[in-house]
Structure 1
Amino acid sequence: MKSKLFYSLFILSLVCSLQVQSQENKFFPSSDLTTVGAYYYPEHWDESQWERDIKKMAEMGFEFTHFAEFAWAQLEPHEGVYDFSWLDRAVALAAKYKLKVVMCTSTATPPVWLVRKHPDILKEHENGTKMDHGARQHASFSNNYYRSYALKMIEKLAEHYGNDNRICGWQLDNEPATNVDFGQDAQNRFRNWLKEQYENIETLNKAWGTNFWSGTYSTFDEINIPNHSQWGMNLYQRLDHSRFCDYETSSFLDEQARVIRKYATPSQWITSNYIPYYDARYIGASTELDFITYTRYMIYGEHQGIGKKGYRVGEYSRIAMANDYFRPLTPIYGVMELQPGQVNWGTINSQPLPGAVRLWLWHVFAGGSKFTCTYRFRAPIYGYEQYHYGIVGPDGVTPTPGGLEYQQFIKEIQVLRDSPSAGKIPQDYQNRKTAILYDPDNTVAINNNKQTLAWNTEAHILKYYKTLKALGAPVDFIRDTMNFQQYPVIVAPAFQQMSRQTIGKLTTYVKNGGNLVMSCRTGHQNELGHLWEAKHAEPLYELIGGEIEFYDLLRTYAPDTILMDDKKYAWTTWGDILNPDEATETWASYSGDFYSGKTAVTFNHLGKGSVTYVGADSHNGKLESEVLKKLFARLNIKTENYPEGVMTDYRDGFGIAVNYSDKPYQVELPAGTEIMIGEQPLGTADVLVWKLK
C-alpha cells in the first residue's frame, strides 16, 4: 500500500481542468489577461507617508497590494488583545486609490510574548536545540498549541475582513516549507499519522521491510521520528517521516483556509505562495485553497546563466519550469513574489541586466499566470533584508530600474488588453505538446538512496525538459493520476517507484497511439520502493520491448561513452544495460567497458504507439537531446530549433518569445503575424509578443 498522504492532491488534479474557466471568471476576468501588484508593509513606515506611497503605487499602474504578512505582533500586541485599526486605515487608503488588497495570515512570525509564554511552540532540532524568536518560520506546525492559537488569531482577522469587498484574496503564511520538528508533539503526531496511513502495524512492517536488521515493531507507540544522521536508518521510515513533515505543512494551510472560509465572501480567493522545490509534496496538496502561487528570485549568486554576464539575467529554465510545474496542479496560478531588482540575501547580490526584470515578468505571463506580485514596493531601510531593492528606493519616492520595468510591463499588458481580438495558436505548436511524468515523492526516495554521489535527480530531468523547450514544445508536469491521452508524447525521467497500475495505464496509453520516453532508473521499484520480486524491472519489459540485464555506475574520473548515429556521448552516473527483443530497434550502444556493444537506447513499437528507453544519464544532456530530436522526427512532429536560452510559448492567443542567451536571435514567425511588443532580432533580456491572424 502506498501512503495515502497525498491522495487529496490526486483528486485535486483530476478536477483542475473543470475548474479553470469558472475560477478565471470568478476571480480574474479573462479580458484582464493578468494583473500586477506589490507588497507593502504599513507597519514599517511612519503613517504620514502611507498615502504618498499608496498613491505612487497606483500611479505606476499597480492594481493590488499585499498587507499584514509578518504583522502578528501589531495585530495582536498582547495575548487576546487585537488591534486592526491601523490596518483598517491602510486598507482604506488602498481603496481610495482603487487598489485591491491581498490580506495575509502572519503565521510565519509569531509575536515574542507567545514564544516566551509557550517556548514549546519552537521547532526542535534533531540534536535537541531549539529555534528562537527573532527570525521567521521558527514555530512548529506540529505543535498542537501553536496550531490552535494561530487559528484563533486567523479567525479574528477573517471575522474582521471576510465580508470586506476591498479584500480580493488571502495569502496563508509565507513561503511555507516542510515542517521538520523533533519535539514531543511532533513525535506523537507522527505516530498518529502512521496509524491513519497504515491502519495496523503489520501493514507498516511489510511496507517498511522491518524484518531486515531486526527492525520489526509491535505497536505504533514504539516508533520514533527517525534519526536522519544515523547511518543505516530504515529508508522507508525516513521516507514516511518526510511525507509526514510535508503533510503537517499542507494540513495546517487547510485548517487556516477552513477558518477563513467561514467568513470570506465568495469573491475572496485563498492561496499560499511556495518556493518551487521539486521534492516538496505539500505543493498543491492543500485542497482547501482556490489555487496556488509561487515565489521566484533569479539573480542571487547561485546560477551562472549563459555567457560571461549571464548571471545578470539568470538561469533560463527557472521561471519556465515553475510555470509548467505549477500550472497542471491548480485551476489557475499566480506568482506572489517576483524579484524587483538587486537582492541582499544571496551569496553574491549582483545587479540584474537592464531589461531582465521585464523579461522575467513576460516569462511569467507566457506560462499562463493570472497575476504577478513583487516583494516589495518600498526598499527596506532596516532589518534582515536591508539593501533589498523595491519598486521605489529607500527615499520612498524614486523608482528603481526594476520599478520602471514593472511600470513598462503594466503599460505593455494594456496594449494586449486593448487588442481587438486574440490570435490563433499554430497547430504545429499544439501537435508537439508533451508531458513530463513526475512525482516529488519519487525524487525524495531516489535522493535517500542515490547509489552514486554523482546522481542529481533535478539535473537529470532538466536534460529532457530543456531539450523539449528548445524544440518549441509546450510542456506540462503531470502526475500518474492525470489524463495521459491528451499528450502525443510523455517523458518519464527517473520515475523509479512505479505501481503496476501506473505501468498498466502507460501501456494502454501507448497501445492507443501515445509515445512514451522512459529514462534510466524508471520502474525499477514498486510503489512501496521495494525492488520487484522478479528479474530487474521486469514489469517494464513489454513496454520497452526487451530486458534490463543490469545497471552500472562509473567513477567520475573514468567516464565511458555511448555511440549513437556515429557520435559519442560521455556518461558516468547511471547506465541501464539493455537486451532488446528481436523486433525492438537499438538506437545507441555502450563502448569502453566489458559490455561494449550492449544496447543503451531502444525504440519499441507497441500497439499504435511507441516506447523509447534511454538507459543512461549523459554528462551534458546531449544524448537525451538527440534521442528526443530523433523521436520527434520519427513521429513526423514538426519542431523548432531554438538556441539555449530562447523560449516561446502561447497563451490567450498571443505568442511570447524571451531571450536569456548572450546573442541576438531572429525569431521565425508564421506568415500573417502581427508583432505587438518588441522588435526583431530579439536581443539579450528582450521580449517579443505577437499574434497570428
Structure 2
Amino acid sequence: MNQKSKNNFLKKVLFTLLGILISLNSNAQKFDKYFPKKDLTTVGVYYYPEHWDESQWDRDLKKIAEMGFEFTHFGEFAWAQLEPQEGVYDFKWLDKAVAIATKYKLKIVMCTSTATPPVWLVRKHPDVLATYEDGTKTDHGSRQHASFSSNYYRTYSMKMIEQLAKKYGNNKNIMGWQVDNEPARFLDYGADAQQRYRNWLKEKYKTIEALNQAWGNSFWSGIYSDFSQINIPLHKEWGMNLHSQLDHYRFADEETATFLDEQAITIRKFASKDQWITSNYRSNYNESFVGMSKELDFDCYTRYLVYGGSLGTGSQGYRLGDYSSIGMSNDFFRPLKGMYGCMELQPGQVNWGSINPQPMPGTVRMWLWHVFAGGSKFACTYRFRAPLYGYEQYHYGIVGTDGVTPTPGGLEFNQYIKEMDMLRKNYDPKAGLPNDYLKRKTGILFNGDNVMGIDLNKQTREWSTMGHFLKYYKATKSFGAPVDFVRDTTNFSRYPFLVVPAYQMIDQKMIDKLTLYAKNGGNLVLSCRSGIQNRQGHLWEAKFYEPMWNLIGSQIESYDLLMPQSPGIIKFDNQEFGWTSWGDLLKPNKGTEIWATYGSEFYEGTPAVISRNLGKGTVTYIGVDSKNGDLEKQVLRKLYQKQNAPIENYPEGVMVDYRDGFGIAVNYSDKIYEINLPKNAKIIIGNKAIKTADVLVWKY
C-alpha cells in the first residue's frame, strides 16, 4: 500500500470512528432528554381503567401517586373499547383516565393494542387469525392470536394506531409509547404468510439456483425449479430440511420486527419528539427479532422469576428465582441500543406458572435493585390492581383484590421508591466507574442465527445452547466483571476480554475480525462448536473446523458426544470435571499451551483446553462443554489472573454491579455474604453482611 492509499485508509477509519462517536453521543443526549441523569431511574405500574368502574379511577390513580409511582401504563389490551365498531372510535373514557393521571402528576406510557384485536375484526376477516402447523387456527378470546404476516391485519392495525397517535401524540403527559405487548415469533401457516415467505426468499436469494445451493437441496431430491413450489417447512415433521427451517425462523423474526417498526413509523408521524417508542420482550434469547426493530428508540424486557421454573440457589431458591435471570436481561438489552428498561417486573405471586409459590419477603425489592444495577432507566410492574376475573385470576398486583390494601410486593415497591429518593440525594454526576471494574470488562458474542442453527441440530440431548452461554456468563459475573452481550458488528476493542461461546456458523470476515482483536491486545476465548460450519450452515469442504486452525493454534481432528450414564472426565490444574455433551479432540501446534486434558475415553490424555499468544493478545479455546460450568469458570479465572485483571470471587447467587457512582450488591443465595468494601465507601442502604433477598448499596 502506497502512502496515498494509507492516508485515504486512515481518513476512512477516522471518519468511521467519528461517526460512531457522534451516534453514541446523540443517543446519550436523546436518552438524557427522556430520562434525566439526576433522576437515576423512574418507577411505574400498569393500570387498566377499562377493567374497573369509572367511579374508582380517581381513587386508584391517586393511590398510585401516593405510593410514589411516577408513571402508569394504559391501553395495551383495549382495542375493543377504543374501536367498538369498525371505524368508530371512542377515546372519551381514555381521555378521562389520562386527565385523572395528569391531575396526580403521573406520566403515562401509551400502548397499542395489537396483541388483542376485537371480535368484530376477526369475525369479518378470519384470515387475520394465525394458522398452526397442523392447519388449526387461533380464535378470539386469547391474545397474540392475530398473525403478523396477515396483510390485512398489518394494514388495518395502522389505522387504529394512527388515530391513537393523532389523539395523544402531542399530549405532554404521555412520556412514551409501547408497541404491542410481549411480541413473539409465531410460525404462521396461513395463505398470506405462505406468499410473504416466498417473496422473502426471492428477495434474499434472487434465483432459485442460489436457494437450492444454500439449502443443500441436492440432498434427498429436494431441488426446486421455482419459488412458487416452496411451502413453509413443517418443523414437527421428521427429517425436514434444516436450512429451510432456519430460514423460516429468520423470516418469522423479521415479520415480528417489521410489524413493530411499522407501528413506530405510524406513531412518529404524529408524536412529539419528547415521546419515546419501545416494546417489551420476554427475554427469549433464541429469537432474533429481539433488538431487530430499527425504529424503536430502545428495547425493554419482561421478567418473572418465581413461577415453578428455576429452583434457584438453596432449598428456598425457588422463592427468589435464578440469580442470573435479571442480570443477563440487563446485560443483553442494554447494549442493543445503549439503554433499556424493565417494562414488566413480577409484583408478587403469579397464576400462570406450573407451580405458583409466594416470593420470599424482600425478593421483589431485591429484583428492583437488580434491575437498577445494570443501568436501567425505569422499572414498571404488571399490575396495580389484582384481577378479579379472566385468565390471570390469582395474579398479585400492587394492591389486593379489595382494590385498596397494598400487597407485600406493593409495600416493597414503595420501599424501593423511597430508597431511590435517598439515592438521588447522594448522586454525583461526575462519578465514573472503578478502574478495577473496567479492567475486567467482558463482551460475550451473541449471534441469533447460531443459537437457532444449533438448536435445530443439537446432535445430543445433553446439549443446552442457552445453558452453555450461562456457564460463561455466570463465571464472568462471579468475577465481578461488567458484561455486555455484543453483536457481530460491535467494536470488540472496547473489551479487554471477549468470550465467543459456540459460534457455530462463521465466515472468513469474522475469523479475521477475531484474529485482529487478539493481535491488537484482546484476550479471546472461544468454546467448542465454534466455526464448524460456514454461514449457510454447511460443514466446510475441508477437515473439521479447518478455517479456525490458524486462529486457535491447533487442529481439531473430531468431536465426541457421551452418554449421560457414562460421563467423561477433564483434568485441569489438579482438579477433575465431568462432561457429556460435546468435546472437541484437539491437536495443538507447537507453542500452543495445553491447559486441560481428557481424563477418560480412548483419547485419554489428549488436550481439551488450549491457549496461545497471538500478537499482543491471547486466544484460549475451551473445547469441551462441562457438566455444570465449573471447568469454564476455572479456565476463565486462570486467564484473567494471567492478564493481571483484578477479579472478585463472589459465590453463586451474589451479583454486584456499579453505576452512577454507586455499587449495588444483591443476594439470591441461602447464606449471608459479607462484601469487602473499600475504606472510602459510604453505605447508603443495607449492611456489609447481606442476608438472603437483601441489598447493599454504597457510594464509592
TM-score in terms of structure 2 length = 0.96
Instruction: Please list, as runs of the form range in 1=range in 2, the aligned pairs for 1:43-58 lying within 5 A after superposition.
Output: 43-58=50-65
Query: Which of the residues 277, 289, 306 maps onto 2:296?
Result: 289
Match of 1:274 in 2: 281
Work out whether 1:632 is the aligned partner of 2:635.
Answer: no
Q: Is the 8 A contact 1:14 1:482 kept in 2?
A: no
Match of 2:531 in 1: 523
Match of 2:470 in 1: 462
Match of 1:7 in 2: none
Q: Name the stretch that deviates more: 469-478 or 16-25.
A: 16-25
**Counterpart amino acid of residue 612 in structure 1:** T
Measured against aligned partners, the alpha-carbon deviations of 1:97-146 in whole angstroms (never above 9, x if no partner) come to 00011110000000011111111111111111111100100010111111
Q: Is the 8 A contact 1:424 1:691 kept in 2?
A: no
Measured against aligned partners, the alpha-carbon deviations of 1:629-674 in whole angstroms (never above 9, x if no partner) come to 1111111111000010001100111110000000011101112001
Instruction: Please list, as runs of the form range in 1=range in 2, the aligned pairs for 1:224-239 lying within 5 A after superposition.
Output: 224-239=231-246
Q: Is the 8 A contact 1:14 1:481 kept in 2?
A: no
CA distance in 2 between counterparts of 1:594 and 1:331 reads: 49
Measured against aligned partners, the alpha-carbon deviations of 1:228-267 in whole angstroms (never above 9, x if no partner) come to 1222111111000011111110010011111111100000
CA RMSD of aligned residues (A): 1.2
Match of 1:592 in 2: 600
CA distance in 2 between counterparts of 1:686 and 1:662 reads: 11
Match of 1:653 in 2: 661
**Counterpart amino acid of residue 640 in structure 2:** F
Match of 1:305 in 2: 312
Q: CA deviation at 1:13?
A: 10
CA distance in 2 between counterparts of 1:332 and 1:625 reads: 29
Instruction: Please list, as runs of the form range in 1=range in 2, the aligned pairs for 1:444-523 lying within 5 A after superposition.
Output: 444-523=452-531
CA distance in 2 between counterparts of 1:127 and 1:241 reads: 16
Measured against aligned partners, the alpha-carbon deviations of 1:401-424 in whole angstroms (never above 9, x if no partner) come to 100100111111111111152545
Work out whether 1:40 is the aligned partner of 2:52.
Answer: no
Measured against aligned partners, the alpha-carbon deviations of 1:69-89 in whole angstroms (never above 9, x if no partner) come to 100000000111100000000
CA distance in 2 between counterparts of 1:541 and 1:691 reads: 47
Query: Which of the residues 157, 163, 168 maps onto 1:161?
Result: 168
CA distance in 2 between counterparts of 1:564 and 1:665 reads: 28
Q: Is the 8 A contact 2:182 2:282 kept in 1?
A: yes
Q: Is the 8 A contact 2:577 2:630 kept in 1?
A: yes
Partner SS state of residue 270, structure 1: strand
Distance 1:175 1:14, change over 3 A: farther
CA distance in 2 between counterparts of 1:516 and 1:115 reads: 52
Structure 1 residues not aligned, in runs of 5+:
1-11
Query: Which of the residues 540, 561, 567 maps onto 1:553?
Result: 561
Partner SS state of residue 485, structure 1: helix
Q: Is the 8 A contact 1:577 1:615 kept in 2?
A: yes
Match of 1:8 in 2: none
CA distance in 1 between counterparts of 2:368 and 2:204 reads: 42
CA distance in 1 between counterparts of 2:448 and 2:401 reads: 40
Partner SS state of residue 70, structure 1: coil
CA distance in 1 between counterparts of 2:395 and 2:95 reads: 27
**Counterpart amino acid of residue 401 in structure 1:** P
Measured against aligned partners, the alpha-carbon deviations of 1:36-80 in whole angstroms (never above 9, x if no partner) come to 000000000000000000000000100000001100000000111
Partner SS state of residue 443, structure 1: helix
**Counterpart amino acid of residue 259 in structure 2:** F
Instruction: Please list, as runs of the form range in 1=range in 2, the aligned pairs for 1:70-469 lying within 5 A after superposition.
Output: 70-419=77-426, 421=428, 423-469=431-477
Partner SS state of residue 390, structure 1: coil
CA distance in 1 between counterparts of 2:323 and 2:467 reads: 14
Q: Is the 8 A contact 2:427 2:660 kept in 1?
A: no
CA distance in 1 between counterparts of 2:154 and 2:635 reads: 50
Q: Is the 8 A contact 1:13 1:329 kept in 2?
A: no
Q: Is the 8 A contact 2:215 2:243 kept in 1?
A: yes
Distance 1:656 1:13, change over 3 A: farther
Partner SS state of residue 438, structure 2: helix
Q: Name the stretch that deviates more: 417-426 or 542-551.
A: 417-426
Q: CA deviation at 1:200?
A: 1.8
Query: Which of the residues 678, 686, 689 maps onto 2:694?
Result: 686
Measured against aligned partners, the alpha-carbon deviations of 1:586-643 in whole angstroms (never above 9, x if no partner) come to 0111122111111100011111111110111011111111101111111111100001
Measured against aligned partners, the alpha-carbon deviations of 1:140-168 in whole angstroms (never above 9, x if no partner) come to 01111111111111111111111111111
Q: CA deviation at 1:515?
A: 0.5
**Counterpart amino acid of residue 215 in structure 2:** W
CA distance in 1 between counterparts of 2:174 and 2:131 reads: 36
CA distance in 2 between counterparts of 1:494 and 1:623 reads: 16
Q: CA deviation at 1:425?
A: 2.5
Work out whether 1:614 is the aligned partner of 2:622.
Answer: yes
**Counterpart amino acid of residue 126 in structure 2:** P
Identity of aligned residues (%): 64
**Counterpart amino acid of residue 435 in structure 1:** G
Distance 1:15 1:437, change over 3 A: farther
Q: Is the 8 A contact 2:428 2:660 kept in 1?
A: no
Match of 2:552 in 1: 544
CA distance in 2 between counterparts of 1:368 and 1:120 reads: 43
Q: Name the stretch that deviates more: 224-233 or 271-280.
A: 224-233
Q: Is the 8 A contact 2:38 2:427 kept in 1?
A: no
CA distance in 2 between counterparts of 1:255 and 1:77 reads: 23
Partner SS state of residue 576, structure 2: strand
Aligned residues: 681
Q: CA deviation at 1:19?
A: 4.0
Work out whether 1:577 is the aligned partner of 2:579.
Answer: no
Q: Name the stretch that deviates more: 22-31 or 82-91.
A: 22-31
Q: Name the stretch that deviates more: 202-211 or 439-448.
A: 202-211
CA distance in 2 between counterparts of 1:26 and 1:214 reads: 58
**Counterpart amino acid of residue 232 in structure 2:** I
CA distance in 2 between counterparts of 1:286 and 1:200 reads: 27
Q: Is the 8 A contact 1:58 1:97 kept in 2?
A: yes
Q: CA deviation at 1:530?
A: 1.1
Q: CA deviation at 1:16?
A: 6.7
Work out whether 1:64 is the aligned partner of 2:74.
Answer: no
CA distance in 1 between counterparts of 2:90 and 2:641 reads: 65
CA distance in 2 between counterparts of 1:568 and 1:332 reads: 41
Q: Is the 8 A contact 1:519 1:616 kept in 2?
A: yes
CA distance in 1 between counterparts of 2:170 and 2:245 reads: 44
Q: CA deviation at 1:14?
A: 9.8
Partner SS state of residue 570, structure 1: strand
Distance 1:13 1:533, change over 3 A: farther
CA distance in 2 between counterparts of 1:36 and 1:569 reads: 44
Higher relative contact order (CA 8 A, sep 6+): 1
Query: Which of the residues 650, 667, 674 maps onto 1:666?
Result: 674
CA distance in 1 between counterparts of 2:135 and 2:535 reads: 34
**Counterpart amino acid of residue 308 in structure 2:** G
Q: CA deviation at 1:318?
A: 0.3
CA distance in 1 between counterparts of 2:568 and 2:24 reads: 45
Q: CA deviation at 1:539?
A: 1.2
